[in-house]
Homo-oligomer: A and B are copies of this chain.
Amino acid sequence: MAATMDYPAHTFDELEPGICFKTGPRTISRRDIDQFTELSGDRTALHSDEEYARQTPLGGLVAHGALNLAAATGLAYRMGVFEGTVLAIRSMDIKYDRPVLPGDALTLQLTVSEIDPRPRPDRGLVGFDAKLFNQRGKVVLSGLWTVLMRRAGAPPAGQ
């Protein structure tokens, strides 16, 4: 796995406001949308009924917002920044800015916006300004992710 990572792992202590990571692209396929429909159980027509979706202003099936978020978390994993240092994701405030269509290629940018060392001596909270872009550089999803991360010298995540 580690060989495919774009950045080295970062502990809480190596992060400060303004540090920015970017990883991608990942293309969303029609198959991804169909699999997400099955897995989530969200069969809303715009995501699952091609004939219906073709008559809407978007002209075809659109990815579920929660699928775009899922893809963003996969890109965050691929960054490598969190490898062995993420303890938990506390919260995500998400705006679904634009629709994602099959074939769109998504890139995730995470910028550290705040750090809070208070929770415990071995861990701290990191706020990331998250932006997911499509291949035209337009933001499709944005928001604040708050992540509990291990401090340098603390035992590996979760132990």
Contact = CB atoms under 8 A, between A and B. Distances in A.
A121 to B, nearest CB: 17
Given A44-B86, A94-B92, A70 B158 contact: no
Each complex incorporates copies of this chain amounting to 2
| Interface SS majority for chain A | mixed
Interface in A61-97: 64-67, 69-71, 73-78, 82, 84, 86, 88-96
Report the contact-size class of chain A (Cβ under 8 Å from the partner). Answer: 35 or more
A70 B38 CA distance: 10
Contacts of A32: 39
A74 B42 contact: yes
Contact of A26 (B41, B66, B90): B41
Nearest to A71: B40
A138 interface: no
Contact of A93 (B75, B93, B159): B93
A110 to B, nearest CB: 14
Given A36-B70, A70-B66, A96-B89, A157 B46 contact: yes
4 closest A-B pairs by beta carbon, nearest first, are A41-B74, A56-B158, A40-B70, A40-B74
